[in-house]
Chain A
Amino acid sequence: QSALTQPPSASGSPGQSVTISCTGTSGDIGGYNFVSWYQQRPDKVPKLIIYEVTKRPSGVPDRFSGSKSGNTASLTVSGLQPDDEADYYCCSYGGNNNLVFGGGTKLTVL
């Protein structure tokens, strides 16, 4: 149950796009299409923004998109807005109904 690897920080200017990577192994990200992403604004509760690699829950803007290649998943935020400034966590099913999170990426909107 090793944590997934995310960059600690990312940044972009309003209107730009930024991509956050999340690297695991064949036992988690590479083995299943059950990658999810969570947004946690300062002092707020985490919120699901992407599930099953590419799907968005109702109400999440299509500026948020997810993808996966091999053992690495990615979250892309397009058309950055100040409100997107938050911590972002990836999460993958790891087999046997276990979940594993990434360490989190702090996104700064410059």
Chain B
Amino acid sequence: VQVWESGGGSVHPGGSLRLSCSTSGITFNSYAMNWVRQAPGKGLEWVSTINGFGDRTNYADSVRGRFTISRDNSKNTLFLQMNSLRSEDTAMYFCVTGVTVSRVLSRLNDWGHGTLVTVPS
């Protein structure tokens, strides 16, 4: 399984970025997909999840209303549209496959190497 992200960069406060994530080696639409971030020198923070069909999404309180997760199953690609960016959004953003059990997100399996988003204060 391979997972890789793209789209990170430096953006001014209030700006927008769109992250992308591609995968290989899995049946993409069988997996919930997730974004997890890690600020420099800090711990992991769950950001968002989308189910395999793409019709159910969930967000951390810290990003709800500003970030939108989506997926294109025909292209095995996951997206994260990030608007109204703040300095506290500065982090490495990881794309991660998720395994569900009876529609409950059980675990995060395969991690990409991350893409860095920087929002100067």
Contact = CB atoms under 8 A, between A and B. Distances in A.
A46 B58 contact: no
A69 interface: no
Contacts of A87: 43
A96 B43 CA distance: 22
A93 B105 contact: yes
Secondary structure call for the B interface:
strand
A34 B105 contact: yes
B32 to A, nearest CB: 8
B44 A38 contact: yes
Interface stretch (B13-21, B23-31, B80-88, B111-119): B111-119
Contacts of A47: 111
B45 interface: yes
A3 B104 CA distance: 19
B61 to A, nearest CB: 5
B82 to A, nearest CB: 19
Interface range for B: 20 to 34
A102 interface: yes
A96 B58 contact: yes
A51 B58 contact: no
B108 A45 contact: no
A58 to B, nearest CB: 11
B46 interface: yes
B49 A45 contact: no
Contacts of A89: 43-44
Interface string A78-103: 00000000010101010011111111
7 contacts: A34-B107, A45-B113, A46-B44, A46-B111, A97-B104, A98-B46, A102-B43
Given A51-B106, A97-B51, 5 more contacts: A1-B60, A1-B61, A57-B109, A91-B46, A104-B44
Interface of B: 32, 34, 36, 43-46, 49, 51, 56, 58, 60-61, 94, 99, 101, 103-109, 111-114
Interface of A: 1, 3, 32, 34, 36, 38, 40, 45-48, 51-52, 57, 87, 89, 91, 93, 96-104
